[in-house]
Amino acid sequence: MSPRSSQQGPSGSSQEPAPGSGPENGTREGRDTGAEARFLGQPRGLLPLSGLEIWERFSFLGMQAILVLFFSASEADSGLGMDPGAAASVAAGYSTLVYLLSVAGGWIADRMLGSYHAVLYGGILIACGHYAMALPHPASTWVGLGLISAGTGMLKPNVAAMVGKLYSASDERRDAGFSLYYMSINVGAFFGPIVTGLLGEDINWHLGFSAAAVGMTLGLIQYVAGRRHLAGRKEGAEFPLPPAAMRRAVWLIAGGIAAVAAVCVALSLLGALTLSGFVDSLTYISMAAPVVYFTVIWRSPRVDATERGRLRPFLVLWLASVAFNFVLFQSYTVLVLLTDAHVNTSVFGYHVPSSWISSALGAVSVLSAPFIAGTWQRMGARQPHASNKLALGVLLGGLGFFVLVPTLLGRSGEGWEMSLVWVALAVLFIGVGDVLLEATGMAATTKLAPAAFSSQGLALWFLSLALATGIQAQTVKFYGRIADSLYFTLNGAVAVVVALVVFALAPWLRRTMHPVR
């Protein structure tokens, strides 16, 4: 008997997971059937999950688009008066914390709450965080960012896991469904920065944060309204802790949060905890956490030999995600700062807010995702292997930085300007690469992750984003200290080299990634 089939239920009795309860097959409750009403040819449950992501990304990326500008704005302009490099580093550190906490969010879903409730409670924390940031006080900013980090860690991996549970392992609609899901993410990514940019840059930063709060509230409402189509809405965790262990876990989590908060407050009052030191600590944690977590999953008795074999190719995809997201997340920091300082953003006499660069990235993803999804659906079994799709996405990300280099050569100091066309080209490459990599990567993860770690598998995927932003938190400190042309060349080269390596490994990946096609 395999370790997974002897899993103890909450009552202590031995019980096998119901057929189709793992990440490869979907759940009996959420799996699509031929007679079920569908959403664009996909399972009906994709609609409320996509709708939630629209509003979650509206709030998260809308806030993030103006966050680096808020940090770097002078106190006279109601900002925090940080140096641009430091502002970009702190913003990257915040993103690192968000994705680090996705590990805890995945574990809580798998062992305590179940995906549906983990997403619900995470959304409530996010909304509360945005409302806190709407208050014009520095302390409320940091409290708000803490709540948003915790809430996003609960919500983000579990929504993606719920999407995966809508499909069987042999369902060829999976990649197309994840492309549509990722398109919905970028609908929110498009509109969020537009609204928050207009309100934050032109009127008041905290009014922009208020718009993010309203967006997340709307997302929660539609998520609950569409719950009847979702897998796992009636059950708790698929692999729950025994009751005694569950009680201990609750107390440990509560005590841990209180202890960390107390230590941070005490160190801050003593002057021993600085923003720079905190960001550096997050970088170290982002490097250590994946090593520890891969080891935990690899050695778990809940993981059988077949599932363990799939972790090897998954590691290659995971490292490719690190390389791409290292470029992508600089679009929300360095690229916004470059645009704000040196790009003529006047369009037909209207000065476009610099934060709208983030919206342009979302627009490219929204417009390209249906085309990409339709292409995969038409090709069916003839579509490229997942590893090649992902490698192409990483390559486009690196080329997105490379296209900026020609116009940056020889530029230095202040007062020079570059055409908006160059930034638009960069955004085009990065946006298409984003759809190729993230949609394919999340779809592959839902099939490669061991059944006992279905939500945590997505959390592990999001740890690649944590590592990417953790590294970025250090590298962005060099922005403005070295030539811009050299900065973008070096950063883009990382993604290009990794993409070429993944292409070279394609034959091995095709052999070892079954059932991923």
Of the candidates 120, 148, 157, the residue with the CA atom closest to the CA atom of residue 62: 148
Predicted local confidence at residue 201, as pLDDT? 77
Residue 374 lies in a domain: yes
Predicted local confidence at residue 455, as pLDDT? 63
Of the candidates 446, 426, 476, the residue with the CA atom closest to the CA atom of residue 106: 446
Alpha-carbon gap, residue 73 to 86, rounded angstroms: 12
| pLDDT beyond 60 at 279 | yes
Residue 257 lies in a domain: no
Alpha-carbon gap, residue 141 to 137, rounded angstroms: 7
233-251 b/e (C-beta count within 10 Å ≥ 16 → b): bebbbbbbbeeeeeeeeee
The dihedral built from the CA positions of residue 210, 216, 220 and 222, taken in this order, carries a sign that is positive
Full domain range(s) for residue 166: 40-239+271-512
| pLDDT beyond 90 at 430 | yes
Alpha-carbon gap, residue 487 to 480, rounded angstroms: 9
User: How wide is the angle at C-alpha 128 spanned by C-alphas 122 and 133, nearest 5°?
Assistant: 125
Confidence of residue 54 (pLDDT cuts 50, 70, 90): confident
Averaged pLDDT of the chain: 79
Confidence of residue 493 (pLDDT cuts 50, 70, 90): very high
| % of the chain with per-residue pLDDT over 90 | 12
Helix (H, G, I), strand (E, B) or coil at 249: helix
Predicted local confidence at residue 247, as pLDDT? 80
Angle between helices 484-504 and 386-402 (to 10 degrees): 160
How confident is the model over 92-151, as pLDDT tens digits? 888 888 888 877 887 888 778 888 888 899 999 999 998 998 888 777 888 888 888 889
Helix (H, G, I), strand (E, B) or coil at 282: helix
Predicted local confidence at residue 318, as pLDDT? 92
| % of the chain with per-residue pLDDT over 70 | 85
How confident is the model over 348-367, as pLDDT tens digits? 767 777 777 778 887 887 78
| pLDDT beyond 50 at 235 | yes
Alpha-carbon gap, residue 494 to 324, rounded angstroms: 9
Predicted local confidence at residue 58, as pLDDT? 85
Of the candidates 344, 293, 310, 334, the residue with the CA atom closest to the CA atom of residue 461: 293
| pLDDT beyond 80 at 274 | no
Residue 27 lies in a domain: no
Counting the structural domains of the chain, the total is: 1
| Amino acid identity for residue 418 in this structure | M
| pLDDT beyond 90 at 252 | no
Alpha-carbon gap, residue 484 to 405, rounded angstroms: 8
Q: What is the CATH number of the domain that holds 392?
A: 1.20.1250.20
| pLDDT beyond 80 at 167 | no
How confident is the model over 475-490, as pLDDT tens digits? 888 887 888 888 999 9
Mean pLDDT of 57-65: 81
Predicted local confidence at residue 271, as pLDDT? 65
Counting Cα atoms < 13 Å in the Cβ hemisphere of 219 gives: 34
CA separation, residue 507 to residues 117, 305, 385 (Å) = 40, 22, 10
Residue 506 lies in a domain: yes
| pLDDT beyond 60 at 422 | yes
Q: Does 136 sit behind a cis peptide bond, omega within 30 degrees of 0 on the bond before it? A: no
Q: Which residue has the higher pLDDT, 35 or 191?
A: 191
Q: Which residue has the higher pLDDT, 255 or 497?
A: 497
Predicted local confidence at residue 197, as pLDDT? 81
| pLDDT beyond 90 at 297 | no
Predicted local confidence at residue 50, as pLDDT? 82
| pLDDT beyond 80 at 462 | no
Say what the pTM is.
Answer: 0.72
Mean pLDDT of 71-82: 77
| pLDDT beyond 90 at 494 | yes
Residue 192 lies in a domain: yes
Kindly state the tokens that stand for 279.
């960001």
Predicted local confidence at residue 13, as pLDDT? 37
Predicted local confidence at residue 164, as pLDDT? 76
Residue 255 lies in a domain: no
Predicted local confidence at residue 413, as pLDDT? 65
Highest average pLDDT, of 27-31, 167-171, 337-341, comes from: 337-341
| pLDDT beyond 90 at 502 | yes
Alpha-carbon gap, residue 448 to 312, rounded angstroms: 10
Helix (H, G, I), strand (E, B) or coil at 25: coil
| pLDDT beyond 50 at 7 | no
Residue 33 lies in a domain: no
Kindly state the tokens that stand for 228.
């009847």
Residue 426 lies in a domain: yes
Predicted local confidence at residue 124, as pLDDT? 92
Of the candidates 167, 517, 165, the residue with the CA atom closest to the CA atom of residue 376: 517
| pLDDT beyond 60 at 215 | yes
| pLDDT beyond 60 at 3 | no
Q: Which residue has the higher pLDDT, 229 or 247?
A: 247
Mean pLDDT of 389-417: 87
How confident is the model over 298-317, as pLDDT tens digits? 888 888 888 888 888 889 99
Predicted local confidence at residue 382, as pLDDT? 79
Helix (H, G, I), strand (E, B) or coil at 232: coil
Predicted local confidence at residue 23, as pLDDT? 39
Give the least confident one: 236-240, 327-331, 394-398: 236-240
| pLDDT beyond 50 at 19 | no
| pLDDT beyond 60 at 82 | yes
